[in-house]
Structure 1
Amino acid sequence: MTAADLPPDFVDGVRAAWTRERPDLDVRTQGVFGRLSRVGLRVHDELVAVYRRHGLAEGDFDVLATLRRAGAPYAHSCGELAEHTLVTSGGMTKRVDRLEGAGLVRRRVSEHDGRGRVVELTERGRDVIDAAFTDHVANQHRLLALLDEGDAEVLEVVLKRWLARLEDLPPTS
């Protein structure tokens, strides 16, 4: 089956309009990028809705999940957290402040460096992220169940291969 075998969608309409307006360009790429963008936005909204049910913003979930998957004692420095979540240290400080105020994390002196500070999950924070992550995984299964049998595996392979090649590219500035 090809994309042409499926009923037309919004992206097909956009592509047809560009083909009409700019016949000098090959806009077939919009089939992938337009749909990837629209799928990404819809999936993002579905994921964030689960975080909200647990009183978390997306960034809060990322921090708590990063701490939880670190294993006991569920702690990282702010720099490590920023590195794992791709957030600036200033942005991370704001997230940690908010989570600390909610009683989900606490700052403490590092066991390895008396001058350093680490952020660790509180017991309440661990309970919140465990419940949120359980619902998050169930939500991911629900969303992937919308695909036909075998499509999720094919999609994962294609995306993994594409991501590896993209990560090998020199940055465009």
Structure 2
Amino acid sequence: MGTPQDEVDRIVAAWHRERPDLPTLPLSVFSRITRLARHLDRARRAAFAQHHLEVWEFDVLTALRRAGEPYQLTPGVLMNQTMVSSGTMTNRIDRLVVHGLVVRTAHPADRRVVQVRLTKEGMATVDAAMSDLLRIEADALKTLPPTEQTHLADLLRHLLVQFESPGA
């Protein structure tokens, strides 16, 4: 009984057959990462949908939740953390306000500065969605022992840093 084959193995084998001169190891790695990302994206969307959330709503709510008490940030900080434009963030905040998940408040020291604060309903929603997400993601990793999960996280961090570190 050999190593199980996946679709990437079949793709790489076809390239070896057609172009044996090509070094396909990067294809083996990054095709798997891409395919896993797609599977995880579908699972995330399904988990968030159970809480009536879109992925972007989850992103904004988790940024606020991670901020800690009093669970508020300026729209500018939210833009930076979620990597969207000012107009997009304004639209997103408007929609979250309509759904009762956040409120806009004035900064106590400077009334010109708007802050976005998580509501109790927003807190309950993001906490439940996060718990479901972590359950799904833990289930996806269950075939790997904890030490291999940690090793995989370390390897992926090492790859990701080259794209996200300053000056990259």
The one-letter amino acid of 2:20's match is P
Pair 163,101 (structure 1): closer, same or farther in 2 beyond 3 Å: same
Report the TM-score when normalising by structure 1: 0.87
Pair 7,140 (structure 1): closer, same or farther in 2 beyond 3 Å: closer
Aligned length: 167
Identity among equivalent positions (%) equals: 38
The one-letter amino acid of 1:102's match is H
Written as runs of structure 1 = structure 2, the 5 A alignment for 1:45-56 is 45-56=42-53
Q: Counterpart of 2:80?
A: 83
Q: Counterpart of 2:158?
A: 161
Work out the CA distance in 1 between the residues paired with 2:89 and 2:150: 34
Q: Counterpart of 1:69?
A: 66
Write out per-residue CA displacement over residues 9-57 of structure 1, whole angstroms, 9 at most, x where no aligned residue.
2111111222222233212221101111111111121122111100000
> How big is the shift at 1:145?
1.3
> How big is the shift at 1:137?
2.1
Q: Counterpart of 2:23?
A: 26
The one-letter amino acid of 2:55's match is E
The one-letter amino acid of 2:118's match is L
RMSD: 1.8
> How big is the shift at 1:139?
2.1
Pair 146,7 (structure 1): closer, same or farther in 2 beyond 3 Å: closer
Pair 52,146 (structure 1): closer, same or farther in 2 beyond 3 Å: farther
Secondary structure class of the residue paired with 2:103 = strand
Unaligned regions of 5+ residues in structure 1, if any?
none
Query: Which residue of the other structure, out of 130, 146, 153, is the alignment partner of 1:133?
Result: 130
Work out the CA distance in 2 between the residues paired with 1:25 and 1:169: 32
- Once superposed, which parts of structure 1, at least 4 consecutive aligned residues long, lie more than 4 Å away? 168-171
Pair 124,62 (structure 1): closer, same or farther in 2 beyond 3 Å: same
Pair 89,11 (structure 1): closer, same or farther in 2 beyond 3 Å: same
Work out the CA distance in 2 between the residues paired with 1:126 and 1:54: 12
Unaligned regions of 5+ residues in structure 2, if any?
none
The one-letter amino acid of 1:54's match is H
Write out per-residue CA displacement over residues 102-125 of structure 1, whole angstroms, 9 at most, x where no aligned residue.
011111111232111111111211
Q: Counterpart of 2:109?
A: 112
Pair 15,82 (structure 1): closer, same or farther in 2 beyond 3 Å: same
Query: Which residue of the other structure, out of 148, 155, 158, is the alignment partner of 1:151?
Result: 148
The one-letter amino acid of 2:130's match is F
